[in-house]
Copies of this chain bind each other. A is one copy, B any other.
Amino acid sequence: MTDQHPFDAAIQLSNDSEGIWSGHSSPAYANMVGAFGGIVAATLLNSVMLDTRRTGTPVSQTVNFCTGLGAGPFKIETKLQRAGKYTQHWNTELSQGDTMIATSSIVMGARGETFSHQPTPAPDVAPAADIAPMSGKLPLEWINRYDYRFVNGGIESIGIPKTPLGDSQTRVWIADNPPRPLDYLSLAALADCFFLRLLQIRGTMEPMGTVTLTTHFLATEEELTAQGSAHLLGIVDSNRMHNQFHDQTMQMFGTSGKILAAGTQLVWYRQ
């Protein structure tokens, strides 16, 4: 037994040779099929963070989920496509045997102190400490790895169709459970923690899954360190759901009111 956080255990990699990594999927982050997408994103980001060629800190990641990550070992192959003065462009692939599980493009950036401006204000909501955690053991194991405190748009019941359709927006305080100091790796996973808007709007659990996830890391490393293990405020919404695909936008605010990350994902649904 060690006191390693389950997140760190799940994203752990061993280096086989330059750009080749081995890992093992973790039951602690199991999803309905395969693993939670956020842990796949964080693991792919980790393969670049650990690389000795890496310079700068993450500014952007897109993950394409080809199929679910199964139980057992996996390989990651990384390629540094271009390294310039201000950015590094990486491509990564996660596979199990001959099956491509996920691919990801990752951009590292050299950040320097300069112009700063946040057009999007922090919403005025009750602090996480004043809101009860989402209760009850949920059927998806990975959800138990997070502490959800809904400001609005929480899951009231699953399986009862909403008439009229629900509001698409959710505002929720969220943190690793057990608490873990925030870094780019956990932020990459938190970006995928929000329940799919199709469920929020319809109230029923249709077959659905994230196809691609894009996260922009807008915070410096110092800001993440200052955030520590405090809850982040996430705001998620959708622009449109049409003929089996919908988008889902996301912003995550730190307790300072600064936006630490923002992004969007595309979700497939069957009906």
Contact = CB atoms under 8 A, between A and B. Distances in A.
Interface of A: 59-60, 62, 64, 66-67, 81-82, 84, 86-87, 89, 91, 93, 99-100, 103, 105, 107, 109-120, 165, 167-169, 197-198, 201-202, 211-212, 214, 216, 218-220, 237-247, 249, 251, 258-259, 262-264, 266, 268-271
Contacts of A269: 114-115
14 contacts: A59-B211, A60-B211, A66-B82, A81-B100, A82-B99, A82-B100, A111-B243, A111-B245, A115-B202, A118-B239, A118-B240, A120-B239, A120-B240, A247-B262
A199 to B, nearest CB: 12
Contact of A119 (B62, B120, B201): B201
Contacts of A270: 114
A103 B80 CA distance: 11
Contact of A214 (B115, B120, B214, B220): B214
A169 B264 CA distance: 18
Contacts of A168: 119-120
A259 B268 CA distance: 17
Contacts of A100: 81-82, 89
A118 B201 CA distance: 11
Contact of A244 (B110, B243, B263): B110
Contacts of A240: 117-120, 218, 258-259, 262
A118 B242 contact: yes
A211 B87 contact: yes
A244 B111 contact: yes
A124 to B, nearest CB: 17
A107 to B, nearest CB: 6
A67 B107 CA distance: 13
A270 B241 CA distance: 37
A148 B176 CA distance: 45
B119 A60 contact: no
Nearest to A268: B86
Nearest to A63: B105
A268 B108 CA distance: 11
B112 A211 contact: no
Contact of A84 (B67, B82, B93, B243): B67
B264 A263 contact: yes
B103 A81 contact: yes
